[in-house]
Amino acid sequence: MRLTIFGTGYVGLVTGACLADVGHQVVCVDVDAEKIARLKAGEIPIHEPGLDDVVHRNVEAGTLEFTTDTARAVAHGQVQFVAVGTPPDENGAADLQYVLAVAETIGKAMDRRKIVVVKSTVPVGTSDRVRERLAQVLAGRNSALDFDVVSNPEFLKEGAAVNDFLKPDRIIVGTATEHARAVMKEIYEPFNRNHDRTIYMDVRSAELTKYAANAMLATKISFINEIANLAERLGADIEEVRRGIGADPRIGYHFIYPGLGYGGSCFPKDVQALGRTARDIGYDAPLIAAVEAVNNRQKTTLFDKIAGHFGGVDGLKGKRIAVWGLAFKPNTDDMREAPSRVLIEALWAAGATVVAYDPVAMDETARIYGSRDDLILARDKYAALEGADALAICTEWQQFRAPDFDEMADRLATRLIFDGRNIYAPDRLSRDGWTYISMGRAPAYPQLQAVENFS
């Protein structure tokens, strides 16, 4: 089928590349001429494992094109996917200006029946607004062209988006017409060969499903972090608790890892937007508000632990703190709402210097913060430790899981680790003379014999 994708950001690029990969003829359009030029030159603007290969393969095969020509893009596709950003405004509501601008663009250029598929994450009722905008534009043209508006939310995990798209858990399609349902069935047929993963529903239910899914996952994260904070104060070990509750199949092990809270482009924005939707309709949703409040508080816990160890905020002045992990999660360079940013900025405010390392987010860090005397970007994880008074771990990258602790000890000024992701065993580090402070567990201090050997 001939498909058009508006937006070449995270969702749009993955969607376009993966739909092209199963044989559809896809044109991706964006108003950002620089981004389109980079894509045409073979440069992928986001870090997503496997995406480079899919994009390059389909560009070479002629099934995937990039353009800034909106009229050509509208003319190309029977189906127009809207995958532009919906950033939060100052009140936490999703900003729909880009979604509605695309609807207007389609309405001005369409010359035959189109199916407009809203792929962006949008509040309930947005598809109705898209339908109204399209109808207004067509009425202004004195056009009686028919169209359909479908809600087809994405469920892509950063760092695993290509696999998520090609092998989806479910495909949600919200539509009110048999015509649109038949076309969407054909589009997604290649992804349903093993069994039909598509769930059809009304448009508003599809829109709410996306928010409900992300809010549920965010709730699990905030819940386990709340229990971790209790565990520390009660002398319990959150890792033992996690295994105990995760064994219950009604709970499961996914999304119950204690840490520094959730970040990225989805959970913070979507929880805020769902809360705003509740307020707009006069419904008190205290659970949603609590999820966000717990998460915001959790992002400060690692700094509080570091400051507490050094005798308060004033004790951090002049300290050199190594930070491993800057992206909000592994396998991405996305630093939006990343817990590392809360820690780093608090360390700077206290007068500390940060020496940071991340496997892929170094350029993004430099873009966000620029050049400053209290930020050093290290060439590798061990170089970040040189002369540092402590190591803080913010992201659980695979390469941090089994480091050379002897080399770490040689590089650091003190055997001191603050682990925001609980990736090491406290007993092992204690035996080797380390002070190890993690999440939801009692601090581990050097065993006496280890201290004597180290001294």
Instruction: Spot the catalytic one: 18, 28, 266, 394.
Output: 266
* Whole-number Cα distances in Å, 374 to 131, 320, 350: 51, 9, 11
**How far out from the chain centre does Cα 96 lie?**
20
Q: 417: which strand partners? A: 391, 436
Report the distance separating Cα 339 and Cα 265, nearest Å. Answer: 13
User: Tokens for 259?
Assistant: 């840490």
Report the distance separating Cα 219 and Cα 222, nearest Å. Answer: 5
- For residue 411, give the 3-state DSSP assignment: helix
Report the distance separating Cα 52 and Cα 86, nearest Å. Answer: 25
Q: Are 391 and 415 in contact (CB under 8 A)?
A: no
Report the distance separating Cα 245 and Cα 226, nearest Å. Answer: 14
Name every residue whose Cβ is closer than 8 Å to that of residue 4 and which is 6 or more positions away in sequence: 26, 27, 28, 29, 73, 74, 76, 77, 79, 80, 81
The residue written with tokens 């937007």 in the block is 273
DSSP state of 444: B
Q: Are 296 and 246 in contact (CB under 8 A)?
A: no
266 is catalytic: yes
Report the distance separating Cα 302 and Cα 421, nearest Å. Answer: 10
User: Tokens for 33?
Assistant: 């001429």
User: Tokens for 193?
Assistant: 């060969």
* Nearest Cα residue to 8 out of 47, 45, 58, 56: 45
- For residue 285, give the 3-state DSSP assignment: coil
Q: Which residues are catalytic?
A: 266
